[in-house]
Copies of this chain bind each other. A is one copy, B any other.
């Protein structure tokens, strides 16, 4: 869908674009310095690295290397590194740093970052480090942790810029210049009424372009999207993306402003939520790339066990037709093809459905239309593949009736698969279950059992 113009040559792709991932060469060089205990060499390499790059480095090296590396940079340890680490690695790093230094580092972080680092730690590390953090900061961190997991309350900064309804631009700017209790970065001034209820917002880029005597009220955007402190982080991300927000005020149950969420936190949430959906569809509970292997086994065991039960159920269907298979062994050869095609067609529909439900594009309003469309789309492919497999199997087995049964089964199985692929996630949503987690198991159970039943059942009736 690209418009092709003559200018296109001007911007020909260079073979190697510059990117900001931590390069393998850089990793190797630091590891070599580490290997020969070249302390000053390691420090020199790390000196000008961004905390996010140091975290990326810590994520990919081994436990032993991590211990040695942290000992070397301990005195210059940038607290921001903790924010960027993979959760599994965070525990390891704070254990090497020790509770006291970890607490000291976390105490220097902005409120939302401190909460995020602490919440990712294992309970024992949480307790130990919280105890070592000065009373006042501990209280605000514990206040943050008292909000439900994955809620807006956990994401918000508690420092923010709020102006009264009667302020003018000049007084707002003077306030910004004189106050020493402001967040490091902010994009908007929020306007609150006497009850601390947010009533509007002004982007700084807009405020700065107005004269000092202009009333804030006259230039503020009064259509604001407030975030309830209880809102799920996935809804927060949805709201930011939908309305292209850079920051939004967070309010408590009484509608009073209690904090601000900024887009940089939302970007992390978006990554996390997309990851969750991908992993759940793949039958994985959580990202555990860096976890110990036994822990990983245990994460995956339950899903494999569920799968075993459904596979046994499907094989029970096959067992029902054991006599037919003994008579005509071609059935055993062809039946996995029906199940495989059905499973894959169903997964295609399921993937679209689960993703569209997550992005709120598939709703009750258009559900019926989408289901019908999916079934029709699968019917087209069902007929095409019925033709293909019918011809191929006839060529191979030279048995017209077997080929007809095989072809008919493929068509029926594909249509049923699309129907299930759409209805299973929609049904799960109605039951209040996250469709990304459970849809796959339900679907393959349905496609396996129905494929074997249709194919072996028809074969038993018509061929034997």
Q: Are B336 and A8 in contact (CB under 8 A)?
A: no
Q: Are A61 and B365 in contact (CB under 8 A)?
A: yes
Select which of B126, B143, B229, B293 is within 8 A of A373 by beta carbon. Answer: B293
Q: Are A203 and B228 in contact (CB under 8 A)?
A: no
Which residues does chain B contribute within 8 Å of A209, judged by CB atoms? Answer: 176-177, 182
In the assembled complex, the Cα of A374 lies from the Cα of B87 at a distance in Å of 18
Which residues does chain B contribute within 8 Å of A390, judged by CB atoms? Answer: none
In the assembled complex, the Cα of A149 lies from the Cα of B3 at a distance in Å of 10
A2 close to B (CB within 8 Å): yes
A130 close to B (CB within 8 Å): yes
Of the candidate stretches A38-46, A101-109, A115-123, the one touching chain B is A115-123
Contact string, A276-319, partner B, CB cutoff 8 A, digits 1/0?
01110111100111001110110011011101101110110011
With known contacts A230-B13, A297-B377, A312-B392, A241–B271 Cβ distance under 8 A:
yes
In the assembled complex, the Cα of A60 lies from the Cα of B246 at a distance in Å of 27
Copies in the complex: 2
Q: Are B293 and A380 in contact (CB under 8 A)?
A: yes
Which residues does chain B contribute within 8 Å of A147, judged by CB atoms? Answer: 11
A37 close to B (CB within 8 Å): no
A50 close to B (CB within 8 Å): yes
With known contacts A17-B230, A348-B303, A364–B24 Cβ distance under 8 A:
yes
Which residues does chain B contribute within 8 Å of A271, judged by CB atoms? Answer: 241, 270, 274, 359
In the assembled complex, the Cα of A281 lies from the Cα of B334 at a distance in Å of 26
A159 close to B (CB within 8 Å): no
Which residues of chain A from 215 to 270 have any CB-CB distance to chain B below 8 Å in the complex?
223, 225, 228-232, 235, 238-246, 253, 263-264, 266-268, 270
Q: Are B17 and A146 in contact (CB under 8 A)?
A: no
Q: Are B300 and A142 in contact (CB under 8 A)?
A: no
In the assembled complex, the Cα of A22 lies from the Cα of B329 at a distance in Å of 55
Q: Are A264 and B246 in contact (CB under 8 A)?
A: yes
Select which of B24, B376, B385 is within 8 A of A308 by beta carbon. Answer: B385
A194 close to B (CB within 8 Å): no
Select which of B118, B127, B311, B345 is within 8 A of A300 by beta carbon. Answer: B345
Listed A/B pairs (23) with beta-carbon separation below 8 Å: A3-B119, A3-B130, A10-B146, A11-B151, A14-B253, A17-B235, A22-B363, A24-B364, A27-B363, A28-B365, A185-B246, A187-B187, A274-B274, A278-B278, A279-B352, A282-B347, A282-B350, A284-B348, A289-B361, A297-B377, A314-B336, A314-B337, A314-B340
